[in-house]
């Protein structure tokens, strides 16, 4: 069997299904859902601060 006989689609498209309405998202979840208008999930950058104002006061 050659590589051209193996077929085309990946085994799982689950990461491209809208969790709210089940629509297929051809561009992936990064672009949001055109059917239900779900916005893409924002992920904070790795260097983003996660402390609260109370944590930055320097007081214990």
Q: Is residue 1 part of a domain?
A: no
Distance CA 15, CA 27 (A): 11
Q: What does the longest C-alpha to C-alpha distance in the chain come to? A: 68
Q: Is residue 24 part of a domain?
A: yes
**Looking at the 3D structure of the chain, how many domains does it have?**
1
3-state SS, 6-38, equals CCCCCCCCHHHECCCCCCECCCCHHHCCCCCCC
Q: Is residue 6 part of a domain?
A: no
The reported pTM is 0.48
In this predicted structure, what is the pLDDT of residue 44?
55
pLDDT in tens, 9-60: 767 888 889 989 999 998 888 888 989 988 887 655 565 565 656 555 555 5
Note down the domain range covering 24: 11-41
Pair of tokens at residue 11: 């085994």
Distance CA 51, CA 21 (A): 34
């Amino acid at each position: 069997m050659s590589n051209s006989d193996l077929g085309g689609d990946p085994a799982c498209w689950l990461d491209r299904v809208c969790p709210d309405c089940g629509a297929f998202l051809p561009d992936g979840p990064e672009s949001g859902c055109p059917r239900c208008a779900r916005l893409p999930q924002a992920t904070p950058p790795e260097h983003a601060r996660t402390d609260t104002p109370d944590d930055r006061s320097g007081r214990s």
